Each structure stands twice: as C-alpha cells, then as structure tokens.
Structure 1
Amino acid sequence: MNKVFTWMAWIGVPLSVIGSVFHWSALLMFVIYCLTIIALASYMGRATESLAIVAGPRIGGLLNATFGNAVELIISIFALKAGLVEVVLASLTGSVLGNLLLVAGLSFFVGGLKYKRQEFNVYDARHNAGLLTFAILVAFVIPEVFTMDMSDQDKLALSVGISIIMIILYLAALYFRLVTHRGVYQQKSEIIEEHEKPEWTKGKSILILALATIAVAYISERLVHTFETVAESFGWSELFIGIIIVAIVGNAAEHASAVIMAYKNKMNVAVEIAVGSTLQIAMFVAPVLVLVSLLFPEKMPLVFSLPELIAMVVSVLLTIVLSNDGDTNWFEGATLLAAYTIMGIGFYLL
C-alpha cells in the first residue's frame, strides 16, 4: 500500500502543478488534488509514527497537528487579507467539528473494528476535557453573550483580550505536559517496546513531515479555487463548503494520520492528533488570526454565528462524555460520526 501511495504522490504533485499552470478542468483538478493530498497523508502518517516511537506519542501527535494546522493558518491569513472573515470563521468551526467528530469518530470506529477495546491515556483525556471546556464553552461562548449590545470596536477589544489569554494558556499547557509534568501521568501502555524500530530517524521524519506539509499547503490552496465550480455542479452552499468541505480537505492529511494510528492500535497518538489539533485550532490558531486581522482593513472579532457555536459546544460535550474514561470502541466512533453527519445535513440545508 505504501508503494501505491508513493507513486500517487510522485505523479500527483507534478500533475497538480502542471494542471494549475495550464488551467485544466476544475472538476478534473478537484479529483487530482484530493488524490494527491491522500497520498501525501500517507507520508505524514509514516513520519508521525516514526516520531511517536522516537520521541513519544505526545511529541509525534503534536508535530503532526502543528504541521497540519500550519496549512490552515496560512490559507486563513490570505482569506482575511481578502476580507473573507465569515469564511475564516466557518472554516475554524469546521476544523473543530471535523477533528472532534469526524477524525476521532473515524479513528475510534476503524480501530474498533480491528480491536474490541482500545485504551489511551485517561489523564490526558481529562486534561484535554478541561481545556476543551475552557476553549469552546468559555472563550467562544463568552464573546457571544457579552457582545450582544456592544459596538464593533468593543467586540474587537474583547476578542483581542480573550485571544491573548488563550494563547498564553495554550503555551502554558504545552509547558505543563512537555516539561514540568512530562511522564508524570504516563501509563504502562505508552511504554514503547524495545523491538519496535522507527521507519525513519527523527531528523528525517521531521524533514519529510515539513516537505509533505508544504506540498499539501500548495495543493490545498489550489484546491480551494476549484470549490466554486464543484459547488455549482453539486448544488453546495458557501456555508456548507466552508464548514464541511474546506475543513475536511484542508485537514485531510492529519485526518488520515490519526486513522492510520488507530488502526495500528496507537490510540495515544490518534487522540493526540484529533483532540490536540482541536485545542491548537481553538486556543492558538483562532486567537492568532484575530490578532493578525488587526493588520488588515477587515477585522475579525471572535464571534461565531449561533448555529456554529451550538454545533461546537455539542461536539465538545459529546467528545468529553465518550472519551473521558480513556477507553473506546467502534460504537462510540459510530456515535461521533452520526453526530457529524447530522450537523453536516443541517449546515447543508441552512
């Protein structure tokens, strides 16, 4: 299978460049871009697995999520520069829903089909539950409540203050898990067996992860330009494209990595990618975009629409209920996927 993905990547990347230069059919390029991103996701998954063996599941999952979210951050900055604030907010919502319901759901479901019961670090699950509650239920809901009667200037001031606090707390959380309390809450299942050898060295894994991310960033940016044509062909709305389609495609690489890790029963890495990526989006990427928007004529306050906000809150609550015990199975994955499907239908019809 790795050989197939290798050939797909080596053929897909040049075709993506050639097709964009010579303006091939948007529908054809949509297919080429999607297949190439899937192939590149294989490389990112293998690099993440090697890093997880060498540096541990936390570092491996964190690096995968960071490189994956870097793509979305870059695309969102260009969208803000173009004044597409609503599209950026919709894509952030889609990333939260996609990571918590689609990625975690697929990981639990696919892994559960192979293993009847899968475990991951329950201490990390509870730690993440607290941060998710803060990021979505506090930092995202508070602006919605307090800005009802505020002027646009006051909304932006509140958003900037919340963004700075969230970035500081996110960096503190990383320091807590990776420095002051590294290994304190480690479980026996996290100890890597001596015979397990990484496919690539730490340096090579990071290099491949970085190069694959750059390729995915380029192709994802090209892919966005095909959405209008594809949307017209299938009758998709802009809101549905922003929350569902852009979020799925923009994070396809890290999505695939999480599912691959779950299939190999490496649930600590899979959960770190899915939940860790959500926390990074909510507590770092979104606040950074608020601060960056200050440089552009169109500012972005941290205020979501009511459907977006309710969807994110429900996703967080459902994820916490199902994952707080550090144990999962295929049925819990199916439950998360069902919730994602219901929300997808809702946003499609909205």
Structure 2
Amino acid sequence: MKPLLIELRHNRMLWLLVLVPVVLLAAEIIPDAHTLLFLLSVLAIVPLAALLSHATESVAERTGDAVGGLLNATLGNLTELVIAIAALHAGQYTLVKGSVAGAIVTNALFMLGASFLVGGLKYHVQEYNRASARLNAGLLLLAAVALVSPSAIARTDFAAGAVMTQKLSAGLAVLLIVGYGLGLLFSLKTHREIFAGAEQAEADELSWPIGLALGTLAVVTLLVALVSEIFVESVQEAAKVLGMSPAFVGFVVVALVGGAAEMTVALSAARKNRLDLSVGIALGSAVQIALFVGPVLVLLSYVVGPTPMDLQFWPGAVVMVFVATLVAAFITNGGRSAWFIGALLILVYAVFAMTLYVLPPKGQ
C-alpha cells in the first residue's frame, strides 16, 4: 500500500478522487441535477483513469514494448467498454456508436499526434518499429471497410431492411473479432521477431508490486462502472443544456475521458523516448476498439440492450474513421517522427471535432 499512498500524495490529479464518493452521493440526493452529475462524473472518471494508467504501467514494466503496448491498450480500453455497456443497457445507441467511432479517431489521430508532439519537443527525431505500425494500420483498414459496408448497402439497396442490416452487422462483428485474433497470433507468436521494439528501460523505482497493481485495477474498474452508470444516465439531458449532440458527446467527450488512462501512459513513454510503446498503445488501442470492443458491443446488444445494435454508423462517422485510418497509415509508414507531424495529426482531429459540434448528424 505504501507505493499507492506515495502516488496519491504526489500526483495532484489523483486528489480529484474525492469526487468519486461525491458524485455517488449526489446521484442519490439530487438525481435530477443532470448537468451537475454529468460534470462531476466526467471529473471523477479522469483521476480513476490516471490511477488505472499507473497500475497498468507498473504491470507493463515487466514486459517488452510490444506486449506492454497491447496490455496498456487492453486495460486502458476498460473505461470505454464499461461506459459503452452502460449506454448499451440504456438503449443510447447513438452514444455507443459515437464513442466507438470517436475512440478509433481519437487514438489514431489525437493520441498518436500528442505522443509525437510531446516526444518531439524533447528529442529532435524519434524512431519506432514500422512493421508494428503497418500491421495496425492494415487492421484498421479492415475495420473501416466493415463499417462502410452496412452503411453503404443500407443507402443503395432499398430491399435491405433493419433485420438484414442487423444480421449483416452480427456476421461482420464475428469476422472482425477473428481478424483481431489472427493479428495477435501473427504479431505475438508466429512472427514476433519482426515486431520486437527497442529494449525496455529499467523498471521505475516507483513502479508498484504486481499484486498491488492488479488489486488497484480491480477496484478502479468497479468504481469506473459505478460512475459510468451515472454519466450515461445524465449525459442526454446535460448535452441538451450544454448544446452538444449525443454523437458529439460520444465521439469527443467519452473518447477523451475514456482514453485518459492509456493516453497518460503513451505520453509518458514518448517523453522517455520509448516511442514503440507509444505507437503500440495509440494504434493498438484504435485497432482493439475497432476489431474487438465494437464487435463485442454488437453481440452484447442481443443480451444487454433493449434491441440489437447494428454497425450502421452515420455517414460522417464512417468518413472520419476512414480518413483517420488513411492518415495514420500514411504518417506511420516512415518509422520516424518529429513534433510537427504530431501537431498536424492533432489539427486533423480538431477539424473533425469542430465539424461534428457545428454540424451534428441529421436528427440531432
């Protein structure tokens, strides 16, 4: 417990953890104060994500950058998954789809760009494994094609009804999960020597024991689930007051808040010149959202949701995911980065966020 207490004392962001019991208590006392609950839940999720990031980084210290990036992406995506399941149960499918598309774009553009920018401000030029970046870009392209198919067919073939779209989405979800599994088998087993990154740095003196890290992960995940339920219940009314559409909330707010944990680790790794880890977290997380989390949510909707969810996104989301995939593939093809490349990626993301805020999807 001593390392945890040291982290709580020195990391001022973790002082916001006091908001976790506050928001849980406020939800019981003033359940109709939706805007206040929305803001409190967002602020409460941020320190939980930061605590999650330190725990995952401590676990990842005992692995190489390739496995460490996958581990951080997987555990970091717990926040998005828990929020999405809560929204799925509430039937807020626009919020779920927005969070899935937003997480893909945020990780592929904002997180990757921020890592390049932060690392580039300290180092003139940084290098990373091109093979790993190319694999993730290829998997992202698979996901983009799968997202295009239901939307394109629904708009060109008038015979394709909602039932057929749901069947197609369920089949595509299974194919995407299979593709993700094959990608892991290829990179971690059959051709792992190709994807080996730079040697990992020595373990940080402040890294936690494995038992403490895993225990923290379990407790934080439970707290995130409780706060996420309040977030989902309040977000719809709060969004109207704040002038945000459900699509914007899912695409930008949920994606940024949910990705805070892995983003913290990615930026920290970039500052330590461990760009293989940063790129692995950013692109690996985008791939995992696209090929695993999104498809799992589609299949879970048959059990958790009021009706089955499909993979038919609004046209703007499909375009943004497709463009983000192409931009990430083009940028990471060289295996080198500098601060200006990161700034460009962040600007592309800002264009998408601003467009979605000013021009929400039809009906919102």
Q: TM-score scaled to structure 1, two decimals?
A: 0.89
Q: Which amino acid aligns with 2:176?
A: M
Which residue matches 2:195?
185
- What RMSD, in angstroms, separates the aligned Cα atoms of the two structures? 2.5
Q: Which amino acid aligns with 1:146?
A: I
**1:318 Cα deviation after fit:** 0.7
Residues 277, 194 of structure 1: alpha-carbon distance in 2 compared, 3 angstrom cutoff: closer
Which segments of structure 1 move beyond 4 Å, counting only runs of 4 or more? Answer: 24-32, 193-198
**1:226 Cα deviation after fit:** 4.0
Find the partner of 1:20 among 9, 18, 27: 27
Which residue matches 1:38?
46
**1:308 Cα deviation after fit:** 0.7
Which residue matches 1:336?
345
Q: Does structure 1 residue 145 correspond to structure 2 residue 145?
A: no
Q: Does structure 1 residue 8 correspond to structure 2 residue 11?
A: no
Moved more, 230-239 or 114-123: 230-239
Q: Does structure 1 residue 170 correspond to structure 2 residue 180?
A: yes
Deviations 1:271-310 (A, max 9, x none): 2221111111111111112222233442212111111100
Moved more, 164-173 or 41-50: 41-50
Contact 2:266 2:282 in 1 (8 A): yes
Query: For 1:99 and 1:219, how far apart are their aligned partners in 2?
Result: 23
Which residue matches 1:279?
287
Residues 94, 7 of structure 1: alpha-carbon distance in 2 compared, 3 angstrom cutoff: closer
Tell me the secondary structure at the aligned position of residue 343 of structure 2: helix
Find the partner of 2:296 among 277, 288, 293: 288
Contact 2:56 2:75 in 1 (8 A): no
Q: Which blocks of at least 5 consecutive residues in structure 2 are unaligned? A: 1-5, 360-364
Q: Which blocks of at least 5 consecutive residues in structure 1 are unaligned? A: none
Find the partner of 1:96 among 101, 104, 111: 104
Report matched runs for 1:1-350 at 5 Å. 2=7, 3-5=10-12, 8=15, 10-23=17-30, 29-136=37-144, 138-147=145-154, 148-149=156-157, 150-187=160-197, 190-193=198-201, 199-228=207-236, 230-295=238-303, 296-350=305-359
Q: Which amino acid aligns with 1:108?
A: F
Residues 239, 26 of structure 1: alpha-carbon distance in 2 compared, 3 angstrom cutoff: same
Moved more, 199-208 or 286-295: 199-208
**1:316 Cα deviation after fit:** 0.7
Moved more, 77-86 or 120-129: 77-86
Query: For 1:143 and 1:98, how far apart are their aligned partners in 2?
Result: 23
Count of residues in Structure 1 that have an aligned counterpart in Structure 2:
347
